[in-house]
Amino acid sequence: MILFLGDPNIALLIGVLLVFIAARGFERDKVKTWTEEAVRRGGAILLVLCAGGALGSTLVMTGVGQEIFLDCDRACGYDSCLRL
């Protein structure tokens, strides 16, 4: 049960649900304003994180990441690549 609740996706879902339950005492317009402001501020961060994750996945799936590592290893030596 603790592992289930500790999963990042489940923990985030629980947090969002708790916030909406706690916001029930406020007017709908106030909650809408808070939500819009949060999405506006956090949207750029989420966009950058998603783009980085997509790029990382693409590098892994195509094998380009391994080739970059091997090129670095050939040029600088294994230890130098680990220090980057």
CA–CA distance, 79 with 84 (Å, rounded to integer): 9
Q: What is the pLDDT of residues 6-34, one digit of tens each?
A: 888 898 899 989 988 888 888 889 888 98
pTM above 0.85, yes or no: no
More confident residue, 28 or 1: 28
